[in-house]
Structures are given as structure tokens and as C-alpha cells.
Amino acid sequence: MQGLLPYVVRRLAWAPVILLAVSFITFAIIRLGPGDPVSVAQGQYRDPEVLERIRHTKGLDKPFLEQYGIYLKNVLHGDLGESFRYPTMTVPEIIFRKMWVSAQIGIVALAVIFGVGIPIGIYAAVKQGTWADPFSISVFLFFQSIPVLVTVPVMLLVFVLKLHWLPTGGWACPVDLGFLPEPVNCIGVFDKRIIMPVLALSLPGVAGVARLTRATTLSVLGEEYVRTARAKGLREFTVMSRHVARNALLPLVTVIGLSLAALLEGAFFTETLLGIPGIGRLAFESVGERDYDVIMAMTMVLATAFIVANIVIDIVYTFIDPRIRYERQRAG
């Protein structure tokens, strides 16, 4: 574990630089692109003079770099700006509530992807050469190839209109942990409404994890230390769990990061089709409405989340694989 702390410190020191770059690029794209929140809000009655006056009041007529400077200054003072779409609410009020909803669905979906994908992959590897190997994986490959735009309506038809098992969509939080602050007091994972979005988000991802697990398990099964373990007379279960699984799962840790991005992508469609007030829909709508500060805040929070997730994954690596050391001199 030597060298880990300086490594983490180095990575953390880079984080503000990355965030600054992300913020500048995002700011530039949305400000320099066509349209602005004032003209969107105006709709069918548009009076250029009124628009100019309101732009002036909101400081949107200042030079781009000056606006960016003001934005940075405000952020450093803890002010994430104001929403044009919801003029009476603060930006954190708007985004954290929605992020919490998406996060709950995302976490459960991630758990399902790995919870189902890993056992399927190991099973397929162990059954290599039999019909069970291709069969188990291809069931999930089938789900991977169906777009959410199809799975959701099919689920609605089956679970809602035919079987009456589930409500059509929306979001509810039957568990209210009053001692936690808003919005994280509201726990929705025990409500039936989470079933469809989780299925829609997780089913396409299972095959990928299963195939990766199968491949890495197969390569590990051929390693000499596995043969040694078996030769020592260890029980098959111990061999699989201690020697095979641990080494086979290492590459999967990297996939978690990538899966997060995929979940965010899928969230837009799922949240739209199922009427879930989450971050995917908010992102889509905010871009359409040019809700500058909300777009900025979401981008920054997500960028921070990715940076932190990557650092955490790197740290976790060192625990799973003792061969990995983060030292200054060694490349990689």
C-alpha cells in the first residue's frame, strides 16, 4: 500500500483543474450556442426590447468571459445561481431532489446488473463446452439488444394493463427517514414503482457483465495457482471463491465506472417513458429551456462524481490486487 496516499493526494490535486476545465467548456458550449433562456421563456409574443431589458437585468448581455468570471465567483461563494425555469427555487433544491431519485434507481440497477451478471458469467465459465454456457448468456444478450423504447411499453402492457401488478409509473417514497435532511430522507427503493425502471435499466447490462466475468473466469481457471490449489485438495467452493472469483472480478471493477455512464444514458428514456422525476429528464428539459445554471450545476456535480468514483476504484484495486502499487516512477 506504499505510495497510495501520495497518489490519492496527487489525483485529488488534479480534480479542481479538471473541474475548472469541464466548467469552462460546458459554460462556453451553452452560452455561445444559439438561443438563451430569456428567448425560450418568451414564447409566441416576442418583443426584442423587452428581451434586451431582461437580459440586461439578468446580466446575460455582459461579455462571455466576464459572465464566466461572475459565475465562478458565485460558485466559490456557494451560490450555484438561479433557475430560469423555476424562478422561485434554488439550483440545489432542484437538482438534488431529482438526483436522489435517479441515484436510488441507478444503485439498485447496478446491484442487479452485477448481482445477476457475475453468477451467470461464472456459471457459464464452469459449464464451458456444454449447452448451458451459450444458452445462459444468450438469454441476456437478447435483452441487451432490445432498446428501452421497446421494453418499457411491453412491460406496461404486461405488468400494468394485463396483470395489474404495478402502477404505470411515477415515483413514490413510502419510507420517510425523518432524521435525514431533504431529499435523502425519502427512500423509494421499497416501492413497487422502482421495479420497471430498474428492470429497464439493468436487463440490457447483464449480458456485458456476464460475458466479461465468463472470459476472465476462464482465463483464471487456466492459471497455475488454481491447479496448485486444487492439487492441495481444497474444496471446489474454496477454490472458486478464494482463488478464482477474486482474481476474475478485478477487471469488473473498472466496468462499474463505465456502467454508471450507461445508466445515465438510459435514464433519460426510462424516466421519460415512466414519468419518473429524475435527473435524466431534468437534463433533457434544462438543455431545451437553456436553463444555464441548472445545466452547469448538473454537469459539475456529475463530473465530481466521476472523478471521485475513479479515485475510489483505483484505491479499491490495491485491496483486491496486491500487485498494484501507485508509485511515482512506474508507468501504469
Partner 1 sequence: MIRLLQATRGIVLSLLVVFGSTGIFIFNQGCSSDGNGEPIEQNGESADGGSTSADGTLRVPGGDPVTLDPALAGDAISATYVVELFGGLVTIDKDLNVVGDIAESWEISPDGRVYTFHLRDNVVFHYSNRLVTAEDFKYSMERAADPQTASIVAEAYLGDIVGARDMIRGRADEISGIKVVDDFTLEITIDEPKPYFLAKLTYPTAFVVDKDQIESNPRNWLRKPHGTGPYKLKEWRLGESILLEANDRYHLGAPSVKTVEFLLSGGSILTMYQNNELDVAGVSINDIERVQDPNDPLSDEYVSADELSISYLGFNTQKPPFDDANVRRAFGMAIDREKIAEVLLMDMLPVAHSIMPPGLPGYNPDARGPTYDPEQARQLLAESKYGGPGGLPKVTITEIGGGATAGSDTQAMIEMWKDNLGVEVEIEQTEEATFWQDLDKGQYQMFTAGWIMDYPDPEDILDILFYSKSRQNNTRYSNAEVDALLLQARTEQDVAARMALYQQAEQIILDEAPWIPLYYGRDHVVVKPYVKNYLLPPMVIPKLRYVTLEQ
Could you list the residues that contact partner 1 (CB under 8 A)? Answer: 34-36, 38-51, 53-54, 57-58, 85-89, 93-94, 97-98, 149, 153-154, 156-157, 160-161, 164-172, 192, 269, 272-277, 281-282, 288-290
| Residues in CB range of 275: below 8 A, 6 or more apart | 168, 169, 170, 171
For the bound state, the minimum distance from the C-beta of residue 205 to partner 1, rounded and expressed in Å, comes to 21
Nearer to partner 1, 243 or 281 (CB): 281
Tell the burial category of 245 from Cβ atoms under 10 Å away from its Cβ (0-12, 13-18, 19+). Answer: middle
Instruction: Determine the number of helices (DSSP H) and then strands (DSSP E) in the chain.
Output: 14, 2
* Nearest approach, Cβ of residue 159 and partner 1 (Å): 9
C-alpha cell recorded at residue 93 = 433544491
Question: Do residues 58 and 87 touch, judged by C-beta distance below 8 A?
Answer: no
Contacts of residue 172, Cβ cutoff 8 Å, sequence gap at least 6: 188, 191, 193
Is 255 in contact with 208 (CB distance < 8 Å)? yes
Least gap, CB of 232 to partner 1 (angstroms): 56
Our CB check for partner 1 shows the closer of 217 and 272 to be 272
Helix intervals (H) in the chain: 4-32, 37-42, 48-57, 64-76, 91-126, 132-144, 148-155, 195-221, 224-231, 236-238, 246-248, 250-274, 279-288, 292-320
The three grid cell numbers given for residue 149, joined into one nine-digit string: 423504447
Between 36 and 248, name the residue whose CB sits nearer to partner 1.
36
CB 159 within 8 A of CB 165: yes
Q: All 3 cell numbers of residue 26?
A: 460546458
Nearer to partner 1, 41 or 253 (CB): 41
Minimum distance from CB of 112 to partner 1 (Å)?
A: 21
CB of 179 to partner 1, least distance (A): 21
Choose between 7 and 269: whose C-beta lies nearer to partner 1. 269
186: part of which helix (H) or strand (E)? strand 186-187
Least Cβ distance, residue 226 to partner 1 (angstroms): 49
- Residue whose CB is less far from partner 1, 34 or 222: 34
Indicate the SS3 state at residue 260.
helix
Least spacing, CB of residue 162 vs partner 1, in Å: 9
Closer of 206 and 276 to partner 1 (Cβ): 276
